[in-house]
Amino acid sequence: MELVGYARVSSTGQSLDVQVDKLNKSQCDKIYQEKRSGVTANRPELKNCLDYVREGDVLIITKLDRLARSTVDLHNILKQLNHKGVGFRVIDQSIDTTSPTGKLLFGILASIAEFETELRKERQMEGIKKAKENGIAFGRKSKLKDKQVEEMQQKRSEGILIKDLMATYKLSKASVYRLLTTEAQT
C-alpha cells in the first residue's frame, strides 16, 4: 500500500508549497504536482497519478477543488479510483473513503451534487419550453430564404449538378442535400 499525493495550482504565479507540506505531513510515498487549470483533460500529472495508483493505495489531496472543478469530474475520478480499489482522502475536508463513515459522507455529498444537477437540468428545460412558447427560435438561422430553396429545388430538377448548386448558393454538400430533401418532404 502506498500513499500517493496530488497537488495542483491554477497558475504559474501560485505556489504548491502549502499543499506539498500537507501531503508530506500525511506521509505520502509519492507526490504528483502540476501548475495547470482545473480542466481535467489538460492535466498530464493527474493522468500519470491515476495511472500509477494500484489496488490498496490511497490518493490524498488537500482540498476537493484541487482534484476536480465539477462534481461530474470528481465523480468520474472517484469511480475510476473505486474500480481500481484505491482509497481517497481529502485532508482539509476530512473525507476518507477508506472508512465506512468517509464512504457515507462522500455518498451523501455525491447524491446532493447529482440532485443539484438534475434541478439545474429541469430549470433549463423549463426555460427552453417557455422561450419556445414565446416564439423564440433556437438553432442557426437558415442561409437561404424559402424562395431561394424553391429555386434551388427547381434547378436540381432541371439537372443542375450538386457541386454547381453548392457554388451558386455557397453551401456545403450536406446543406444542399438537407435543404433539397427537407423541401421535397414538405
Segment 23-41 mean pLDDT:
87
Which carries the bigger pLDDT value, residue 37 or residue 154? 154
Q: How confident is the model at residue 40 (pLDDT cuts 50, 70, 90)?
A: low
pLDDT of residue 47: 93
The pTM score is 0.59
H-assigned helices in the chain: 17-25, 44-52, 71-84, 100-133, 146-157, 162-169, 173-185
How confident is the model at residue 173, as a pLDDT? 93
pLDDT at 185 over 60: no
| Averaged confidence pLDDT in the chain | 87
Tens digits of residue pLDDT in 71-96: 778 888 988 999 999 999 999 888 89
The cell for 4 is 500517493
Residue 48: per-residue pLDDT = 96
Find the catalytic residue in 10, 15, 94, 111: 10
Number of Cα atoms under 13 Å in the Cβ half of residue 135:
0
The pLDDT, as a whole number, for residue 72 is 77
Q: Catalytic residue at 10?
A: yes
3 state DSSP class of 22: helix
Strands 95-96 and 87-90: antiparallel
Alpha-carbon distances, residue 174 vs 144, 183, 185 (angstroms): 14, 14, 16
Task: Tell me the pLDDT tens digit for each residue of 108-159.
Answer: 876 776 787 788 889 999 998 998 899 888 877 778 888 999 999 999 999 9
Query: What would the grid cell of residue 1 be?
Result: 500500500
Residue 163 grid cell: 457541386
Check residue 5 and give its pLDDT.
96
